[in-house]
Amino acid sequence: MTQYVIEGGKPLNGTVTISGAKNAAVAILPATLLINGTCRIENVPDISDVRLLLEILDSMGAEIRRLSPNTIEICSRNVRESEASDALVRRIRASYYLIGAQLGRFGHAKVALPGGCNFGPRPIDQHIKGFEAIGAEIELQNGYVCARVGEAGLTGGRVNLDVVSVGATMNILIGATLANGTTIIENAAKEPHIVDMANFLNAMGAKISGAGTDVIKVRGVKSLRGGSYSIIPDQIEAGTYMAAVAAAGGNVLVQNVIPKHMDTISAKLREMGAKVTEYDDAIRVQRTGVLRRANVKTLPYPGFPTDMQPQIAVCMALASGVSTIRESIYDTRFAYCAELNRMGAAIKVETKTATITGVDQLHGCTVHACDLRAGAAMVIAGLAADGTTVIEEAEYIERGYESLIDKLRGIGATIKRIELRRGARKNAAG
Ligand code: EPU
């Protein structure tokens, strides 16, 4: 088990650089299976979810070279049709992208049903609906998704998603890229990583238009070629540092961001009393006074992201007045509130709503990271709290945050990482 130990109560000051987007990288890497050539992918975050996906692709026969910590060259020409290792696949939710990628490449796929952070049921019915709409036949057998193309091959088709799903939108994009016909995805997700995926595939020769709107058109092409691509900065990593400054106080330049992607988060922090200044590819966050209460409802992009919900809750826990958070993407994403309450927060959770009465101070104690973003919230709380905070199961955090300890130290935090024993089993996340 990995522990983080934080001596809190100090403002954060300096500059922090944001890494490439996790949820773009974990989709783009499986999509390289479609490509008949070598891809050079830059700005790949060096996080454990990415390392796990690279291990899966390597086990399937992809040739992978790490040219630098964040640049990877990957050639899938010799990938065998073998199934990806179940043990690895079940550890990461994004392994569902192997279904679209294998279907597009080989015309069939067999992938173990993915795990994932436990936010209640996380079905993949919309992925399946999409694959069927573009000409695949899908069966669920003993915990596997088995997909194969019908007689006519992957024909393309029209799919209207019943819920706005990031994963389904990406997976259908991947599956439809090499189809014989055209695919229209209606009610598509609009997150920045959807646009990044479309840009990546287009850079390799795909014909995708409309990404970033709720109707995406994919005109199938015969093959994709290799090329270079640089992944966008991580919206949620940037938002996490912004929330950390708002909660702990200080003045930090968050650089290598796309400010437009941060609009909802910047607006909420401003509403709460932080000073947020945008530059071309950076955002400065300053907080000196007391934070004000606010309300948040999580929504698909461009709404307030569910993946920032636990982090903004820490700011609300320290704001004057009563704030509320309404979670509308997942059934349950408030397990971390009990941990914040142990640190002195006053949060009441009723089904999908958290009511947060601000307190003057949080106090360090031992808490655990329930999942990736909950873990990030514990770090923020520990930075803002007085005394020592020990975060258990911090390995969750390392699935999505590159060099968190070094980056936080760089802006003045006192934080260390302790590995308690080797070989601890890691649970699924993402
Ligand atoms: N949903 C369905 N059926 C489906 C797919 C989704 O009902 O077939 C529902 C889900 O249960 C959920 C909602 O639709 O209520 C949205 O789910 P979505 O498919 O958008 O989520 P995801 O693709 O499984 C990705 C990110 C999550 C992030 C969500 C929402 C990855 C690997 N994961 O999950 O990231 O919370 O989109 O933005 O991209 C994280 O990074 O911490 C994380 C959990």
- What is the mean predicted confidence (pLDDT) over 174-197? 98
**Cis? peptide before 233, omega within 30° of 0:** no
Task: Examine the pLDDT at 190 and tell me if it is beyond 70.
Answer: yes
Per-residue pLDDT at 430: 60
Shortest-distance Cα residue to atom 24 of ligand 1:
167
**129 CA: nearest ligand 1 atom:** 8
**Known active-site residue 117:** yes
* Mean pLDDT estimate for the chain: 94
- What is the mean predicted confidence (pLDDT) over 13-42? 97
Q: Which of the residue ranges 64-78, 105-119, 131-145, 302-316 would you say has the lowest mean pLDDT?
A: 105-119
Helix axes 166-176, 192-203, angle to 10 degrees: 10
Per-residue pLDDT at 427: 47
CA of 429 relative to ligand 1 center, distance in Å: 11
Return the beta strands (E) in 214-318 as ranges: 215-219, 227-230, 250-255, 275-278, 282-287, 295-297
Options 117, 315, 337, 370, the catalytic residue: 117
- What is the mean predicted confidence (pLDDT) over 277-299? 97
Residue 311: strand pairing partners = none
Helix axes 166-176, 125-133, angle to 10 degrees: 30
**305 CA: nearest ligand 1 atom:** 38
Best substitution site from 26, 329, 398 to test ligand 1's pocket, by max atoms within 8 Å of Cβ?
329
**93 CA: nearest ligand 1 atom:** 32
SS3 state at 97: helix
Residues with CB under 6 A from ligand 1: 23, 26, 93-94, 117, 122-127, 163, 165-168, 189, 306-307, 329-330, 372-373, 400, 430
What is the per-residue pLDDT across 319-352, written as a single tens digit (0 to 9) for each? 999 999 999 999 889 999 999 999 999 999 999 9
Give the amino acid at 215: V
Best substitution site from 99, 113, 122 to test ligand 1's pocket, by max atoms within 8 Å of Cβ?
122
- What is the mean predicted confidence (pLDDT) over 39-50? 97
Per-residue pLDDT at 121: 66
- What is the mean predicted confidence (pLDDT) over 107-136? 85
Q: What share of the chain is helix, strand, coil (3-state, %, to 5)?
A: 35, 30, 35
Confidence of residue 84 (pLDDT cuts 50, 70, 90): confident
CA of 165 relative to ligand 1 center, distance in Å: 6
Confidence of residue 118 (pLDDT cuts 50, 70, 90): low
- What is the mean predicted confidence (pLDDT) over 236-258? 98
Confidence of residue 425 (pLDDT cuts 50, 70, 90): very low
Per-residue pLDDT at 428: 45
CB 341 within 8 A of CB 375: no
CA of 94 relative to ligand 1 center, distance in Å: 10
CA of 430 relative to ligand 1 center, distance in Å: 8
Confidence of residue 86 (pLDDT cuts 50, 70, 90): confident
